[in-house]
Structure 1
Amino acid sequence: MPNGGVAYFSAEFGIDESLPIYSGGLGILAGDHIKAAADLNIPLTGVGILYGKGYFQQRINESGWQQHLYPEVDLEASAYPVRLARDAEDRPVVIRVTLAGRQVHAKAYTVQMGTVTLYLLNTDMDDNGDEDRRLTDTLYPSDPDVRIRQELLLGIGGARLLVALGIQPDVWHLNEGHSAFLALERIRMLSAEGVPFETALEAVKASTVFTTHTPVPAGHDVFSVEMMDRYFGDYYWQLGTDRERVLSLGRLGGAFNMTRLAVSTSSKVNGVSKLHGEVTRDLFHGWTPHIPRQDIPVDSVTNGIHIGTWLAPGIKALYDRHLPSDWAVRTAERDIWTAVRDIPAKELWEAHQQAKSDMAEELGLPIASSGEGPLVIGFARRFATYKRALLIFRDLERLERILRDPNRPVSLVFAGKAHPADGPGQELIRRLVELSREERFKGRVHIVENYAMDKAKKLVQGVDVWLNTPVKPMEASGTSGQKAAMNGVLNCSVLDGWWVEGYNGRNGWAIEGATDVDAEHQARQDSEALYRLLEDEIVPLFYRRDDRAIPTEWVGMMKESICTLAPVYNTHRMVSDYWHKVYVPASARGNRFAADDFEVASRVAAYKQFVRDHWPAVRVRKVEILADHSSRIGLSKTAFRAEIQLGAIWHKDVRVEAVGSDGKQGIWRAKLEQVQQQAKGVYVYEGVSPDIPSHVWRSNVNVRVTPVSPDFASDFEMELAAWG
């Protein structure tokens, strides 16, 4: 890859608890991503926003309700120095963005992580009015008017910042859709140089990649068309096209959807686990119902965690003693971790007990630090209803028996924030506080206030079991369980997100309840499965000790968990995947589209316009299923013959296929070859049946025509298909 490297845009970055410009998993992932890029010497530049008051500080009042406090972020206290960005003449770098007719100024700060620089924009400047100074105060404001202005600052302002700094990325990576306006700004800059809109769009798209983290429609930012007009009224024309064409890039269901914009302007889209890739294809299939969900061009790169950030000191010291000396830079190599199996059980158990003791002391938990118990189960994450924090409380009498067993005590530790606008999430916290105060659960159910990175570290290092109970398949990936696994903490989780890939039957527990049923039935089945695991497997195994009071079978599972999960679910593997599968191809594609005065981008734009103009005339006029028929393509049997009207479109610019269900939730495709031109623009195609039983392929078969080009990033880039 040339020197331009990757520009990585994210609305939040979780680098360290002393810099609270993150709310949860998305930000933590972004912080771990850029740390791993620095470790691997990948040329990457981060772009985000410096929130003056960060995400809120949580206090829980006497009634159990979450309170939201917004103290000023103390930049002097940051573990990573935050400095003003300066230009070659040592002047502070300031960029300007027009928001609703006002010029808003933003200064840039830098945070350095090894070879990677993170740039953060902030509008608290004397040049701005009070409203605009406060624009970058808080992360994820509830007011959509403030939210769109923040996203305009991140996307448009972030792109202008890189220009001001002389940074010319080869690849632009959108981490979620919040920064997708940067694509419009890049088109505007090319338009100002005289590049036509459609050509500029193709050039921008070729070098842009998009990672989506949200598996539900409600999780994607949506703005009204009226709001878009208010903020883009003076901007549409600067892109070299009209209002309707700009809006078409993000229009969905009568509004402007930021995820739709990101997909429309990216050549590569990926989810953050294999299952999330499938869920995202289902979601996007709703936008393009004429394309089977299996053909929606979404890949997946499963998330990982930055081991150096999340590892307990005692566990790290253990790895330093027993693993190869350079293990920390070779975390993605499976062989490195096999030495964990040879660590004496006593040493691993004692290191875990030390982490447990440190957690109890640091978080003020009244939990004995001896290896005798109690078994501590942790549940810590954002309090959203789909994560089902109260699932374990569905049968209070049964839970009481589990927690209060005098010979095998169990404690639960909960932590997490609900978004200030999420009433149901805040009600979950209130109910949890109420339950923790019941006499039967006192001393057994603990709540840690103001969950943040510092407390997350202690929890993932110190509990015995990490519990995760989302409604499947609503967990995109989830990485807290990966952090726990690196520390020898065992996962007990619904088979959702990353766990469906990581679980092998010996490295933790799977809550295998019902699927494809109503929410109440699923909760009943999942809670029953969880209670059964606790009663029959987890608690007995934890308390089964040898003559040295060590749970050797439990420690054996800890080793299995570390050996099988650590080499896969770390950010060195993840960022390496991004480099080889996403960044390098996007760099080559972007440079090819921009070369020779945008020759390829211009040709692709003209081709797409021609296809769009003439696609309404494309018809599958007649489809026949034949048997034992000698065909023109030289086969003794042919299954399909189709008569296709292409009109002005050249027959080599389309793919004609028979498509059908394989009876296993997949589809089969059989390419049809052109054998005859029947009339001007009308062709006959023939092809053979797939190698599956005839009763399967005959049950649901149709013929499809799609436009193709060797310059497309995928066969369905134009989102066009004509069916018989």
Structure 2
Amino acid sequence: MDIKDRFKMLTDELANSKRRLDFDGFLARIGRHDLSGKLTANTPWVYFSQEVYREKDLGLKGDGGLGVLAGDISKIAEDLAMPLTVVTPFYSGKSRQALFNYWESDGYETLIPGEHGFEKVGKVKLKSLAYSEIPIAVYVKRRGSVNIITLYEPNIGLLYYSESNSDHRLYQEVVSGFAGYQALISAGIEPAIIHMNEAATVFGAVARLDDICSHGVGFDDALSAVRDTAIYTNHTLLPAAEGVFDIKQFEQLVFTNLKNDAVIDWVKTKFGNDGKIRLSTLALEIAARRNGVSLLHSRLSSQNYRDRAGNSVEFSNVTNGVAGRWIDDGMLDLLTDKSAIDEYGLPTDDFASRLNNISIDELRDIKAAGRQKMNQILKYRQDQRGNPIHIPEDAILFDYKRRLVSYKRFDMIFKDLNRLADILSRNNAHLLFTGRPHIGDSNMIKELHDILVAIDSNPTLKERVHYIQNYDEEVAEALILGGNCAVNIPIVGQEACGTSWMKDIAACKILVSTTDGGVADVTPPVYLEVNGVTYEQEAESLYSRMQQACEIIKDDISYREQTIHQIQAYLPIISGSRMIRDYLNLGFDNN
């Protein structure tokens, strides 16, 4: 039995689901009747991503926002009954964070797709100069209209474990693109759209170009066909931040998987005079449709990126949205009952006025229920000292939850420990923060250690500041539900979008933030803005805003006004269905 036959026999995990929307109904709702029948099980939207973060129901764990976005797109498509196929590597292991004397120590867990509900449908083969053939196992999970194709072999390793320009990283990207495309064709899938979630997935589109040319189509016609049906979603603000590869690496792993000489010659022309190439250069050349993930990011990308000839390129904008999985059921029910969102999760025409019908009691009830759910989760997690965590029901809770990288500036919260301690003690407040430094980031690992030591030396902070080990999807969900105020303070111009703050606003929390990423889509600011010319001025602004947030949270009138105002401003952006609408409009011209 071949891959195509096994693909037809896959178990649908949603076969008995009661809530199944009609995709044609969604198309009618967004005014795209013309797309009816364009996307089918055999001609789906195909989404390539190097990571997908949906651990709870898919068993796939990512590393950051890129994977969360991929997980959300798959979940939203699933809810809308949109034909979508996701292609991603299945990494053969994952690291698990633990602290020893406040120093990060990583454990390792081996992963096998069959143990996470994926069904093996067959194998495809890659070629390299070192090995004539590398067998890649193809595993699939089907959930309604969505298929998740994962590529696995034991040496694929961990996500982002190696350097961005290493042979191993290129190998992982070749597995995703070339083996992934082989899996699609073997399953009888002809992509209506190839959507590249970052440039690292460009080999899926290159494989399609090679396939079309190898079936007798002239190169120019084949390139035109691929370019018109390929989307490149960029999350990187500066090309210099990307990894680069040299011609020898491509000869080892890329050219061996291309059959058509014209395609190989075309790829070679994209190398610079230094004999190196950025994958974004290929992505820009092979995709006519490109987008950034927030208004600010799209504008900066259009300024910063150039094609191989040095010409400026235009990035359309599709601001990230979030799936309903991140929004508490009680809040979703409330938005539905108030007719602020429709059955597809889109804001209604009069959503802003409808939101005014939400009472303070309804908001407080949602937060009280969220605190209980959070504490239920955190009693099984560990703080920096290895203890379970419980936040009193009547305490104000600040939270900071994101990867620990320098531009996100978690250290700013701890610039003045006495000031922080005063805010927390004066307002009966606690701070939960979580996030992991990247493996090998010794500077950030040391910074986390030093901050935890400083917290331990301050009696007030030792009682009221809690670091949650091993940040994951479950911890993120807990803090979204149980917190009162979210802190989001990246350097302006360095966050592509971020979605954590969207989930916080939808959870009726006060947002304290710099004007960056998707937050900057709304002007003037409706959140508590952190600003300043210098780092010191921004830190002072942060502490002032944290105190202001406490005063708002304690006052019913102020809290209701601020919360409703934030939701009114951002609900159209938060909506994951809106994001899908925008991608459909980007991928298919509206004639």
Q: Is this a same-fold pair by TM over 0.5?
A: yes
Distance 2:44 2:576 in 1: 18
Distance 2:523 2:60 in 1: 32
| Cα distance, 1:252–1:43 mapped onto 2, change above 3 Å | farther
Unaligned ranges ≥5, structure 2: 1-34, 380-387
2:468 is the counterpart of 1:448 = yes
Distance 2:450 2:56 in 1: 27
* 1:353–1:369 Cα contact (<8 Å) kept: no
2:95 is the counterpart of 1:98 = no
| Cα distance, 1:30–1:370 mapped onto 2, change above 3 Å | same
Unaligned ranges ≥5, structure 1: 86-92, 124-132, 515-520, 545-550, 589-724
Out of 354-363 and 165-174, give the one that drifted further.
354-363
| Cα distance, 1:287–1:500 mapped onto 2, change above 3 Å | farther
- 1:388-537 counterparts in 2 under 5 A? 388-405=409-426, 408-440=427-459, 441-502=461-522, 504-506=524-526, 508-514=527-533, 521=534, 523-535=535-547, 537=548
Question: In structure 2, what is the equivalent of residue 265 of structure 1?
Answer: 286
| Cα distance, 1:208–1:286 mapped onto 2, change above 3 Å | closer
- 1:112-191 counterparts in 2 under 5 A? 112-123=142-153, 133-135=154-156, 137-143=157-163, 144-191=166-213
Question: Could you say what secondary structure the match of 2:420 adopts?
Answer: helix
- 1:37-436 counterparts in 2 under 5 A? 37-53=77-93, 55-62=94-101, 64-73=102-111, 78=116, 81-85=117-121, 93-102=122-131, 103-123=133-153, 133-135=154-156, 137-143=157-163, 144-232=166-254, 234=256, 238-241=259-262, 245-249=266-270, 251=272, 254-285=275-306, 291=311, 296-307=313-324, 309-319=325-335, 322-324=337-339, 327-336=342-351, 338-364=353-379, 366-371=389-394, 373=395, 375-405=396-426, 408-436=427-455
Q: CA deviation at 1:257?
A: 0.7
Distance 2:317 2:518 in 1: 11
* 1:503–1:510 Cα contact (<8 Å) kept: no
> One-letter code of the match for 2:261?
G
| Cα distance, 1:420–1:337 mapped onto 2, change above 3 Å | same
Distance 1:325 1:475 in 2: 29
| Cα distance, 1:439–1:286 mapped onto 2, change above 3 Å | farther
Distance 1:242 1:285 in 2: 21
* CA displacement, residues 203-251 of structure 1 (integer Å, 9 cap, x when unaligned): 2222211001111335423222221222245456x33238663222354
* CA displacement, residues 314-338 of structure 1 (integer Å, 9 cap, x when unaligned): 4345445x33498452333353464
Q: CA deviation at 1:141?
A: 2.5
* 1:6–1:171 Cα contact (<8 Å) kept: yes
Distance 2:90 2:318 in 1: 28
Distance 2:477 2:546 in 1: 25
Question: In structure 1, what is the equivalent of residue 6 of structure 2?
Answer: none
Q: CA deviation at 1:553?
A: 1.5
Distance 1:157 1:69 in 2: 29
| Cα distance, 1:168–1:75 mapped onto 2, change above 3 Å | closer
Distance 1:387 1:325 in 2: 33
Distance 2:307 2:205 in 1: 24
2:553 paired residue among 542, 556, 567: 542
Question: Could you say what secondary structure the match of 1:498 adopts?
Answer: helix
Q: CA deviation at 1:75?
A: 5.3
When the two structures are aligned, how many residues end up with a matched partner? Answer: 539
* CA displacement, residues 646-667 of structure 1 (integer Å, 9 cap, x when unaligned): xxxxxxxxxxxxxxxxxxxxxx
Distance 2:468 2:479 in 1: 10
Give the alignment's Cα RMSD to 1 decimal.
2.5
Out of 182-191 and 463-472, give the one that drifted further.
182-191
> One-letter code of the match for 2:417?
L
Question: In structure 2, what is the equivalent of residue 7 of structure 1?
Answer: 46
Distance 2:69 2:511 in 1: 19
2:578 is the counterpart of 1:573 = yes
Question: In structure 2, what is the equivalent of residue 27 of structure 1?
Answer: 67
> One-letter code of the match for 2:120?
L
Q: CA deviation at 1:556?
A: 2.4
Q: CA deviation at 1:534?
A: 2.4
> One-letter code of the match for 2:327?
L
Question: In structure 1, what is the equivalent of residue 24 of structure 2?
Answer: none
Distance 2:454 2:343 in 1: 42
Q: CA deviation at 1:463?
A: 0.7
Distance 1:161 1:393 in 2: 49
* 1:29–1:305 Cα contact (<8 Å) kept: yes
Question: Could you say what secondary structure the match of 2:160 adopts?
Answer: coil
Question: Could you say what secondary structure the match of 1:404 adopts?
Answer: helix
* CA displacement, residues 151-202 of structure 1 (integer Å, 9 cap, x when unaligned): 1111111111111011011211101111111232222222322334343323
* 1:6–1:583 Cα contact (<8 Å) kept: no
> One-letter code of the match for 1:557?
Q
> One-letter code of the match for 1:563?
Q
Larger radius of gyration: 1
2:587 is the counterpart of 1:583 = yes
Distance 2:194 2:263 in 1: 25
Question: Could you say what secondary structure the match of 1:70 adopts?
Answer: strand
Distance 1:76 1:167 in 2: 22
Q: CA deviation at 1:347?
A: 2.5
Question: In structure 2, what is the equivalent of residue 609 of structure 1?
Answer: none
> One-letter code of the match for 1:361?
Q
Q: CA deviation at 1:474?
A: 0.4
> One-letter code of the match for 2:100?
N
> One-letter code of the match for 2:496?
A
Question: Could you say what secondary structure the match of 1:442 adopts?
Answer: helix
> One-letter code of the match for 1:97?
L
* CA displacement, residues 69-104 of structure 1 (integer Å, 9 cap, x when unaligned): 2212375775xx42223xxxxxxx211111234211
Distance 1:572 1:139 in 2: 28
> One-letter code of the match for 1:312?
D
Distance 2:254 2:52 in 1: 27
* CA displacement, residues 447-480 of structure 1 (integer Å, 9 cap, x when unaligned): 0111111111111111111111111100000000
* 1:436–1:442 Cα contact (<8 Å) kept: yes
1:554 paired residue among 559, 569, 572: 559
| Cα distance, 1:552–1:326 mapped onto 2, change above 3 Å | closer
Q: CA deviation at 1:286?
A: 9.0
Q: Normalization by structure 2: what TM-score?
A: 0.85
Name the structure, 1 or 2, with higher relative contact order (CA <8 Å, separation 6+). 2
* 1:83–1:109 Cα contact (<8 Å) kept: yes
Q: CA deviation at 1:427?
A: 2.5
* 1:337–1:567 Cα contact (<8 Å) kept: no
* 1:332–1:567 Cα contact (<8 Å) kept: yes
| Cα distance, 1:461–1:181 mapped onto 2, change above 3 Å | same
Distance 1:139 1:77 in 2: 18
* 1:82–1:110 Cα contact (<8 Å) kept: yes
Question: In structure 2, what is the equivalent of residue 706 of structure 1?
Answer: none
* CA displacement, residues 641-697 of structure 1 (integer Å, 9 cap, x when unaligned): xxxxxxxxxxxxxxxxxxxxxxxxxxxxxxxxxxxxxxxxxxxxxxxxxxxxxxxxx
Question: Could you say what secondary structure the match of 2:371 adopts?
Answer: helix
> One-letter code of the match for 2:236?
T
Distance 1:427 1:472 in 2: 24
